[in-house]
Structure 1
Amino acid sequence: MTLLRVVARPMIASMFVVGGASAIKNPGLRAKKAQPVADLVKKMVPETPLDAVMLVRLNGAVHVGAGLALATGRMPRLSAAVLAATMPATTMTGHRFWEETDPAARTNQTVHFLKNVTITGGLLMSTLDPDPHKKFIGRRAKDKVVQASDTVQSALQR
């Protein structure tokens, strides 16, 4: 594993591990914000025992598990994809800046919303991270072009 991966993956994962653990331990305020989502799930699947607290804790557990997997390099592309998949719902539920009337609170929620969008972009890029034992994708592409050029040149020289 390259030094970049050793440093970058835990940096991205840290927010998920810490935030997920906090959500599991103290779901209170998050559960209040997640109540509309829990109500929607309950309406779609009435027999589900899921409530807002359980939903927040489940999301927290996914964040901790996938965050630890990303941080340690275990299935890094899959764990980055799982985390990226959770972010739209987490962001739309937790940072509803458009509903804030106080300008300072609106600015704060906008910053957090955009931070989550940015992190989601980083996670999506991480899903493309090649096997550490392979050359960088740009180098592999260049090698393929050179190989194709050599093949075409040798075919034309016949």
Structure 2
Amino acid sequence: MSLSRLVARPMLASVFVVGAVNALKNSGALAAKAEPVTDTLVGTIKKAVPQAPLPDDPQTLVRINAAVQIAAAAALATGRGPRTSAAVLAASLAPTTLAGHRFWEADDQATKTQQQLHFFKNLSVLGGLLIAAGDTEGRPGVAWRARRVAKDARREARHLAVSARQEAKLVKAKVA
């Protein structure tokens, strides 16, 4: 692992640990802010997957999100499943941002500016997480490996076809 990954991953994860601990401590207040988003999200998920055991209570959802963020941030910081943990953090950041930083609903300009700043900060962090989720650390990714296997299979098929034609000619020449 490169030095930049060794340092950058814990730095990226730290914002989630701090935010998630705060969410656990203040889950009641945050649940009130999150309710419009959780109601929409829970409704959508229950329509898509009716048997999903998803709680309706916004406070419980805030706590679950915080626990997921702590676990994924710890995994990212320690380099255990960094691509998966970055993807999980990215998925959890979207509803968190939409629930917590609704600058378009702010009444006064100072609050609007502050919420807008946090919204775009989270958007920037999301970009970093997307980069981390796609980082193969210099090793070939799944898409490259799939293309390589397909290319090798085509080459082998051509080779087998040429060999089969040559053998057929030899057999024909021996028979005649």
TM-score per shorter chain, which class?
Answer: 0.7 to 0.9
Unmatched tracts of structure 1, length 5 or more: 138-158
Separation in 1, partners of 2:55, 2:81? 31
- The number of aligned residues is 137
SS in structure 2 opposite 1:35? helix
Matched, 1:112 2:126: no
What amino acid maps onto 2:40 in structure 1?
A: L
Separation in 1, partners of 2:124, 2:41? 27
Moved more, 60-69 or 45-54: 45-54
In angstroms, what is the RMSD of aligned CA positions?
Answer: 2.6
Do the aligned partners of 2:42 and 2:56 also contact (CA within 8 Å) in 1? yes
Matched, 1:60 2:47: no
**Identity percentage over the alignment?**
52
- Candidates 87, 90, 104, aligned match of 2:96: 90
Matched, 1:125 2:139: no
Deviations 1:109-138 (A, max 9, x none): 000000000000000001121236x48x9x
The aligned runs of 1:131-142 (5 Å cut-off) are: 131=137, 134=139
Deviations 1:70-126 (A, max 9, x none): 000000000000111112211111100001121000000000000000000000001
Unmatched tracts of structure 2, length 5 or more: 142-176
Matched, 1:50 2:56: yes
Cross-structure match for 2:34: 34
TM-score (norm 2): 0.70
Separation in 2, partners of 1:128, 1:48? 29
SS in structure 2 opposite 1:9? helix
SS in structure 1 opposite 2:134? coil
Residue 101 and residue 82 in structure 1: after superposition, are their counterparts in 2 closer, same or farther (change >3 A)?
A: same
What amino acid maps onto 2:119 in structure 1?
A: F
